[in-house]
Amino acid sequence: MYPRISEAGNNAGCYFDRTPEKLVLEGYRRWTAGFETGSVIAWEMAYGLYSELLGTRNGNRALSELSFFIRTLRHCALCPLKTFPFGSHHVCREECMTLGLIAGIQNCDMVAARTCLNAMACPSRHEEVENAAIGFAETLAEMDQMLLPIPKSAIEDIISRPLRANFH
């Protein structure tokens, strides 16, 4: 049985306001925006968020793992990475798959994690993306930043929806 968000503690009012989910979602958005725009401002915003939520030392360590994960994913993705604006309480398909991948790894639900991986990455590059995601997920877990599980059925529902226009 999956925990209710109200039982999760840690800013439990909104799923996206929980620290672990915020680190993954906003980190993904900001780091991806840095690559897309070529501006360091988005990366500085990610650094600020991670430092604020994890402290400088842990923030730097987690941000390094996020950076490696996003860089790897960008080179191995089936399509260009999309995002909603920073702070949005909506998520696009790629953001859902990222959350599902990291949550699956952390919660030992490799069926859900691999479902996300299959929807995100070229088959010949799955291992690279999976290894980068594992490094990021484990780093967050070591810092007690555990994402709530996302059921495979929810992930499959998102995958089955028609793709929409770019969000960034």
pLDDT digits (tens, 9 = 90+) for 79-115: 677 776 677 777 888 889 999 999 999 999 999 999 9
Q: Does residue 165 form part of some domain?
A: no
Q: Does residue 2 form part of some domain?
A: no
Residue with the larger pLDDT of the pair 5 and 128: 128
> Structurally, how many domains does the chain consist of?
1
**Per-residue model confidence (pLDDT) at position 142:** 98
Q: Does residue 167 form part of some domain?
A: no
pLDDT digits (tens, 9 = 90+) for 104-152: 999 999 999 999 999 888 888 889 999 999 999 999 999 999 999 999 9
Whole-prediction pTM = 0.85
Instruction: Please give the residue range of the domain that contains residue 52.
Output: 10-160
**Per-residue model confidence (pLDDT) at position 13:** 59
Q: Does residue 90 form part of some domain?
A: yes
Q: Does residue 166 form part of some domain?
A: no
Q: Does residue 4 form part of some domain?
A: no
Arithmetic mean of pLDDT over the chain: 85
CA angle 159/129/127 to nearest 5° reads 105
Q: Does residue 56 form part of some domain?
A: yes
Q: Does residue 1 form part of some domain?
A: no
Cβ within 8 Å of residue 5, ≥6 positions away: 12, 14, 15, 18, 148
